[in-house]
Amino acid sequence: MNKIAQIFDTLDYGAAPEAPDQAYAWLDSHDRQFGHFIAGEWTAPGKTFSSDNPATGQSLAQITDGTAEDVDAAVRAARAAFGSWSALSGYERAKYLYAIARAVQKHARLFAVLESLDNGKPIRESRDIDIPLVARHFYHHAGWAQHLAREFPDHVPYGVCGQIIPWNFPLLMLAWKIAPALAAGNTVVLKPAEFTSLTALLFAEICGRIGLPKGVVNIVTGQGETGAAITAHPGIDKIAFTGSTEVGKLIRAATSGTGKGLSLELGGKSPYIVFEDADIDSAIEGLVDAIWFNQGQVCCAGSRLLVQESIEERFLAKLKTRMKTLRVGDPLDKSVDIGAMIAPVQVERIRDLMQRGAAEGAVVYEPDNMTLPGAGCFLKPALVTNVSPANTLVAEEIFGPVLVAMSFRTPEEAVALANNTKYGLAATVWSENINLALDIAPKLKAGVVWINGTNNFDAAVGFGGYKESGFGREGGREGMVSYLKPRWEKDLKPLSSVELAPAQRSEQANPLDAAPLDRTAKMYIGGKQVRPDSAYTRAVVGSSGATVGEVGEGNRKDIRNAVEAARAALGWSSTAAHSRAQILYFLAENLDYRRAEFARRIEAQTGHDGAEEVALSVERLFAFAGCADKYDGAIHNPPSRAVAAAMVEPLGVLGIVAAPSRPLLGSVALLAPALAMGNTVVLVPSSVSPLSVTDLYQVIETSDVPSGVINIVTGDSVALAKTLAEHDGVDGLWFAGSAEASAMVEKTSVGNLKQTWTTRGLDYDLADRRFEGDYFLAKATQVKNVWIPYGA
């Protein structure tokens, strides 16, 4: 039998190696030693470390370990370039982005080979997926640059952006961050991962070759300390980070109170749900892509297989058969499916997790017909069964070629298992019933949902997570928003200490000095008036110095009860937007009926005529009632046989701590957009003038607001804000108050990475009409992109 006939008989792949010569020649042209790329020039190499080929362990080049001084030099260069770069017309910036895209395409094979040498991923992936997407991002954002003024009126760039990227998609993550930043008019200091800096350095050389103005892009290499120096640098206006949740939390804590913009794309433990009516063979091929793409070193990897019980046995048998055909080996071999892990430390971490999972009862299957290369960082693909949701391998992000499988019986159980994680980056739904798939997708707490496909990415479609997978989006319109801020925010002035906490309305020292007539307003939790758990009250002192009433002194338990009530009412988010609007209109109508009463209450507390504030509060309720069914998503059109539906969803349970001033409007202006978008709320009203909001629950009770949608806890604003920030059942927190308390709120919210908005002691005049539109609607929502394939 001749050789060709043998190949058709066995269907074995032959070797198809890619030559590394051109990549080696480029490394040699730099003597395999690299400094930083700062202000358009290469610096002399400093203290270096080795960048190794994970498939062989051999050193590719020596990379400079950036110091705080190096970071400072890069920030100064970026700051010097910012004025002229941001002043360019959108068209002029677009031409540079277009030139970068063309240069990437021209040198695509060099980039792909260098990426596979440095990272260990199969050349098929870097050549056919990563590098084309890099070029696509720069093309796409060239368009945003030119149309920025029309699409984002009255917005400006942050300034100097510090960007820190991971090692799993070195060049693609660079493109995701640099392209929108430059399109928006920012300048950049970027640190690539220490394991994979080479394609970022090649990109830096491309920037020089196309004539990008010096200082617009600066590349500083280094390890963790270099990234920390970027995060801490006072000259950085915005931080964008992709990496582990643990490091993301450290960055969130470090930036608290600084006013820096922040977007985080962090870890994941994504579910891959297969229903009994799915095309099983297609679902298995999709699963191969979901978990063994890039050796499973993907934050959105479909690492948790949830398969319907009726097909579980057949599905797993077919999956094991498919696993036996996967090829592990040299990343430069075009017939290889799984390349090398990034480094020995990652291999050991995965093996340790596997041992822990097995000790907890997990059963591990690895193909027994597979031989790994004798050198390098290689692992076999693994399938783990016989696990509970509490098993380490189910709960923890493994970041390797390890698939964990569980079964479910009903769609409701599938959703419960899928959402039983602290992460919320991505999810996959596989079903031939599009009605079922589109019913499940909105119920999944994930920023991206793929239907009958997986790992679909495009520059036109936002990518990012919920919960501890971070916040902010990369790609599309949502990604551009992450690099822009309203022009007026840069002109905000600090509030005076008197405006933050008027001294004349402090509490009475002696609790027995209250007025003889007991007028103690209760709290409002779960649709009921309740007394405070503490059994203490606080006096409300009017402008004359006389006590005008008392309210309960809320504590941690009151917040706990309010959060539980709010979580029980989360069905509010699935109430039709039209119905939410009707209830807000009803609230406004009922408040208007009692306009004179509320005006008198404001005057009694503040000494100011309250008529205008009541009128503004009614108007604000009307405004957001009108927005409830109009602030919605879009359909993105990626260059594939699919559409991506950008669905605008509420954060969930939103804590709102109102400012001391404006007793009624200060709460209503924040409450209305939160409710309009489907959030449930725990509201802490003004600590010095709370009676306007405790009166408001009488309006709430007569306006058809479902129980638990609005919960009111009175007391010390800062103390209650801290409790809300610490509570893992709170998904977002808005705080109006001092700079010090705002910093505390941001730092304390690190626990579950809840999204926060704080005034930082600045004068956010909520009476301004700029606050009756998209500003708070955007902060009350997050975008989920659902990919829907089409075509026969």
Catalytic annotation, residues: 265, 299
The whole-angstrom distance between residue 232's C-alpha and the CA centroid of its chain comes to 21
How many angstroms separate the CA atoms of 244 and 646, rounded? 25
Helix (H/G/I), strand (E/B), else coil: 756: strand
Buried b (16+ CB within 10 A) or exposed e, 36-73: bbbbbebbebeeebebbbbbbeeebbbbbbbbeebbbb
- Could you give the CA distance from residue 657 to residue 662 in angstroms, rounded to a whole number? 13
Sign of the torsion angle spanned by Cα atoms 196, 198, 199, 205: positive
Q: How many Å apart are CA 262 and CA 424, to the nearest integer?
A: 18
* Phi, psi for residue 333 in degrees, rounded to 5: -90, 120
What distance in Å separates the CA atoms of residue 349 and residue 641, rounded to the nearest whole number? 38
Q: What value does the CA radius of gyration of the chain take, rounded to a whole number of Å?
A: 28
Q: In DSSP terms, which residues pair with 644 in a beta bridge?
A: 636, 787
> Could you count the other beta carbons within 10 Å of the beta carbon of residue 556?
16
Beta carbons of 523 and 554 less than 8 angstroms apart:
yes
Q: What's the sign of the alpha-carbon dihedral 91, 94, 96, 101? A: negative
Residue 243's region, left for phi above 0, alpha for psi from -120 to 50, else beta, is left
C-alpha–C-alpha distance, residues 451 and 281, integer Å: 15
- Give the DSSP H/E element, type plus range, for residue 288: helix 280-292
3-state SS class at 304: strand
Instruction: Give the 3-state secondary structure of residue 492.
Output: coil
Range 719-726, long-range pairs (CB < 8 A, 24+ positions):
720/554, 720/559, 720/657, 720/684, 721/655, 721/657, 721/684, 721/745, 722/748, 723/555, 723/556, 723/559, 724/559, 724/563, 724/655, 724/657, 724/682, 724/684, 725/655, 725/749, 725/751, 725/754, 725/756, 726/751
Helix extents (H) in 334-454: 344-359, 392-395, 411-418, 434-440
What is the three-class DSSP state of 530?
strand
Question: How many angstroms separate the CA atoms of 39 and 502, rounded?
Answer: 49
List 162's β-bridge partners, or say none: 189, 239
Sign of the Cα torsion 114, 117, 118, 122 reads positive
CB burial of 721-744 (b: ≥16 within 10 Å; e: otherwise) equals: bbbbbbbebbbbbbbbbbbebbbb
Q: Which is it for strands 37-38 and 41-42: parallel, antiparallel or unpaired?
A: antiparallel
Q: How far apart are CA 575 and CA 463, in angstroms?
A: 26
Within 13 Å and on the Cβ side, how many CA atoms surround 452? 21
Asked if residues 718 and 737 have their Cβ atoms less than 8 Å apart, the reply is yes
DSSP letter assigned to residue 790: -
Start-end of H helices in 128-212: 131-146, 148-151, 170-184, 198-209
Q: Is 556 helix (H, G, I), strand (E, B) or coil?
A: helix
Q: CB within 8 A of 128, min separation 6: which ones?
A: none
